[in-house]
């Protein structure tokens, strides 16, 4: 079984800028530079045949040509008043939403059933350990909330596999698609 998702990789220069912000928060497991991306669709566990079908269907998502996105602000996901993920946001972008929708449609054509979710594009910067101090998390978010990247040209996306380890997920690019 393969654990798959489609995503846009973050260019090295932007990843390095984000990495400079990945400090000063005890209990944060910062994501390495090569793991920084904007997820388009999470597909979950699938067998190899369905993965091959999905890879073929994603070719149809390539239409539309290159576009730009801008990273803006930071935030946290969590539950029960406890944050578990720190992220950098993405400014609203219709072209990004269309691409994510096409990647989701490819899953349906390949026979995958996805959980219904609202698409909230972001770049995961860190996963938080349960003992992370909520006050320190809030202070980190306040200190970095003016994050704003220059426009990032998006001319490709990829189908990635993910292997969960004790140190977090390790990703591998399975197939790349040019826009």
Q: What are the tokens at 59? A: 């070719």
64 membership: H or E segment, kind and range: none
Neighbouring CB atoms inside 10 A of 105's CB total 15
List the alpha helices (DSSP H) in 114-153.
Answer: 134-144
Q: What is the pTM of this model?
A: 0.94
- Residue 61 to residue 58: CA distance in whole angstroms: 5
* pLDDT tens, the chain, 179 aa long: 999 999 999 999 999 999 999 999 999 999 999 999 999 999 999 999 999 999 999 999 998 899 999 999 999 998 767 889 999 999 999 999 999 999 999 999 999 999 888 999 999 999 999 989 999 999 999 999 999 999 999 999 999 999 988 777 899 999 999 99
In the chain, the domains with their CATH numbers are 2-178 (3.90.1140.10)
């Amino acid at each position: 079984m393969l654990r798959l998702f489609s995503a846009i990789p973050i260019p090295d220069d932007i990843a390095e800028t984000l990495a400079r912000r990945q400090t000063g928060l005890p209990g944060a497991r910062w994501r390495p530079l090569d793991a920084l991306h904007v997820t388009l669709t999470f597909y979950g566990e699938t067998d190899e045949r369905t993965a091959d079908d999905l890879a073929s269907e994603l070719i149809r998502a390539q239409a539309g040509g290159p576009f730009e996105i801008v990273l803006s602000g930071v935030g946290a996901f969590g539950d029960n008043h406890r944050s578990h993920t720190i992220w950098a946001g993405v400014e609203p972008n219709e072209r990004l939403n269309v691409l994510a929708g096409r990647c989701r449609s490819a899953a349906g054509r390949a026979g995958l059933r996805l959980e219904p979710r609202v698409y909230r594009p972001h770049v995961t910067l860190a996963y938080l350990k349960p003992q992370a101090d909520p006050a320190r998390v809030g202070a980190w978010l306040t200190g970095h909330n003016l994050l704003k990247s220059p426009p990032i040209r998006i001319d490709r996306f990829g189908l990635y596999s993910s292997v969960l380890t004790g140190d977090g997920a390790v990703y591998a690019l399975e197939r790349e698609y040019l826009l």
